[in-house]
Structure 1
Amino acid sequence: MSMEWNKIFGAVLLAGLIAMLAGFASKVLVHSKPLEKSVYVIATPEGAAPAADKGAAPAGPAPIAPLLVAASPENGEKVAKACAACHSFNKGGANKVGPNLYGIVGGPKGHIQGFSYSDALLKTEGAWTYDELNKFLYDPKGYAPGTKMTYAGLKKDDDRAALIAYLRSLADSPQPLPQ
């Protein structure tokens, strides 16, 4: 290797060292203080409610009952294609990574005998009502922290309602719609 390459590598290392030391020195010499009040004051009319933060996540899913009235099981079947990688939907279908979902609406949680459900999901107990499915599909990890289901959730209300309408149709006698 020639002496020129050594000079180039030495210059790059020296520049990095100087940048690092300058950053360290600036943190030691300059101490920032938090402001007591905002520098920019925005006047709002008295009694006006503060605007909702557009970036904030909603507190939870919208109520599902009004959405189910207009929900299309055909659209739900399209949404369910993302679920087909882990679940089967036909009557008596085999379990995959997740359980078969035929007859899940109104059925007990842990409805497939012999399937290894996560303890987190089994602790929620009860039946898969429309509201319970809505909450679970919105945020599975929030609904049952520690669940084996890795799906992030279905945030669009219309898609969630369509999927639940499709799941409702997968039964010998579908559950009545909620009032």
Structure 2
Amino acid sequence: MQRLLMIAGTALLAMTVQASAQGDAEKGEKVFRKCGACHAVGPDAKNKVGPQLNGVVGRQWGTVEDYKYSKALLELGEGKVWDEETLSAYLEKPKDVIPGGKMAFAGLRKEEDRADVIAYLAQFNEDGTTK
């Protein structure tokens, strides 16, 4: 019985960790306001100081049309994809992931904020429609 309780507790803990790692898109929309001066998402999103972010989760680095990426991003990003792990690291400390990149933002220190923003961005298809 004790072993069964331990297994059930471990499973519950794993589900809780997985749920928190996935983030909350509604909260992410609020956190994304910090990004909105330079980035846009949605059907009418256009490139600003930074590229529009429709479909960014799962997209190859440096592939938004009509956006001039930094040489550093293009060199480091060849063959790389913006998966959740990479996005989280980039959102935490952009200059650590792409030294010499254009992103001037200091980063989102809270893991929860990063997970929430990624969940928010993951809702958008490349054309700006929501999934």
TM-score (norm 1): 0.57
How many residue pairs align between the two structures? Answer: 109
Match of 1:133 among 87, 90, 97: 87
Q: 2:112 aligned with 1:142, yes or no?
A: no
Match of 1:90 among 42, 45, 49: 42
Unaligned residue ranges in structure 1 (runs of 5+): 1-64, 175-179
For 1:121 and 1:78, locate their aligned partners in 2 and report how far apart those are by CA, in whole Å: 27
| Greater gyration radius | 1
Matched with 2:9 is none
Matched with 1:4 is none
Normalized per residue, which structure has more helix?
2
Paired amino acid for 1:149: M
RMSD: 1.7
Matched with 1:162 is 116
Paired amino acid for 2:75: K
For 1:106 and 1:156, locate their aligned partners in 2 and report how far apart those are by CA, in whole Å: 22
Contact 1:92–1:102 (8 Å) recurs in 2: no
TM alignment of 1:163-178, pairs within 5 A: 163-171=117-125
Match of 2:55 among 90, 100, 103: 103
Matched with 2:21 is 68
Matched with 1:34 is none
Report sequence identity in percent: 40
Point out 4+ residue stretches in structure 1 off by more than 2 angstroms.
65-69
